[in-house]
A and B are shown apart, each in its own frame.
Chain A
Amino acid sequence: MSEEFKIEIVNPDKSFLSKDDVIEVVVPAFEGDMGILKDHISIISFLKPGIISIQTKSGEEKYYVEDGIVEFKNNNLSVLTSYILNLKDIEKNNLQDLIKVAEEEASKKDLNDQSKYLADQKVETLKSLN
């Protein structure tokens, strides 16, 4: 029996990515990273800024997301996100810009706890890529 399932990542503009030979996906869920294998129980959760890594037969791919929702059902994993980047596509200077924007956001005074947490996560993730 194959141990593969489907993944689909959509953002508002288009269907970003779709694969059906996925072995494992690790998503940065709000309460901590979560690994998903085939026949995982149906789950809905949302994402904090972080790295999605997708393990397929042909190799591993990593994506940076800022937010999103994951839904897993009947071996179909859907990820809805408004901002996603392939790690390969992030250029060095581009990354610096992203960090700058994220740091500005995190240093704002009027944030509530949750947005403060999310902004800090964003800075941390981006810096770890550096």
Chain B
Amino acid sequence: MASLDDLKKRISSVKSTQKITKAMKMVAAAKLKRAQDSAEKGRPYSQKMNNVILNLSSGISDKSNAPKLLSGTGNEQIHLCVVMTSDRGLCGGFNANIIKKAKSHFLKLKEEGKELKIITVGSKGNDQLKRLYGDKIIENISFKNSKNANYFDAEKVGKIIIEKFEKEEFDICTIFYNQFKNVITQIPQAQQIIPLNTENNDENSSDESYEFEPDEDEILNNLLPKNISTQIFKAMLENSASEQGARMSAMDNATRNAGEMVDKLTIEYNRSRQAAITKELIEIISGAESL
């Protein structure tokens, strides 16, 4: 059995850990509120953008002439996966979930014999993927210095992706991120952004004909790159809300576990203190008796 001193030390160390996790939880809760707000406020923009593009693409008469960002390169050989994770750890299963989703996607691609390229956004994803897929990672972007997700960062990522697309370095681009549902649930998502998936959304694309100024092609050429940045920005917002949510619940659990541990250790400490007293008493009594 550990000595009284050791137990005392352990109790105080667990207690100070508990203080840290508690503080982290508070910080995450405060940040979560803000991140959640901006994630919700950011949704209309990306939704509207999507609607406009859907309307545009349904208005295009000559599909074969459509911009490549919309129709694809015609090949499906090289896949680019953009894995978006956080820059900081201690947020429960947040990063692990994205990585898991991404890895299963990678395996599927491998089975189908496709070529894989990876861009990681956020250092945690890079850390976890570089061991297995180090040779596949072509770019690692990290926004450690930006406090909140902002549109300029998203635009940077968007530009990199478009540049690579124009150089024909890949055919299909998918982004991986966590969608924020609520504090305990974040759903890892795989969303294809190039070529754009225009089929699954019929309710918004009405048959009504639009007037376009300038013509459809030019608007689309202008719009599609923007849409990529927008989608990435949306993913970043969702991700940051999810990250804070995941961290909050992870730290809440940690605080609770630490509390339980302190209780257990305190009981053990009291028991061994009692045992030591009893032992001493027995020694004194039996010493007195033997006289």
Contacts and interface: CB of A to CB of B under 8 A. Distances in A.
State yes or no: do A and B come from one complex.
Answer: yes
Interface of A: 8, 10-15, 29-31, 34, 41-46, 69, 71, 73, 78, 80, 82
Contacts of A30: 213-214
A46 B222 contact: yes
B42 A12 contact: yes
A41 B211 contact: yes
A48 to B, nearest CB: 11
Interface of B: 38, 41-42, 44-46, 48-49, 51-52, 55-56, 151, 154, 208-214, 219, 222-223, 226, 230, 233
B32 to A, nearest CB: 17
A42 B58 CA distance: 14
Contacts of A15: 41, 44
Nearest to B209: A42
A71 to B, nearest CB: 5
B42 A31 contact: no
Contacts of A11: 45
Given A10-B44, A14-B42, A80-B52, 16 more contacts: A8-B44, A12-B230, A13-B38, A13-B41, A13-B42, A14-B41, A15-B44, A43-B210, A44-B55, A44-B212, A46-B223, A71-B55, A73-B208, A78-B48, A80-B48, A82-B226
Contacts of B48: 10, 71, 78, 80
B213 to A, nearest CB: 4
Contacts of A41: 211
A106 B212 CA distance: 28
A82 B210 contact: no
B228 to A, nearest CB: 13
A103 to B, nearest CB: 20
Contacts of A12: 42, 45-46, 151, 154, 230, 233
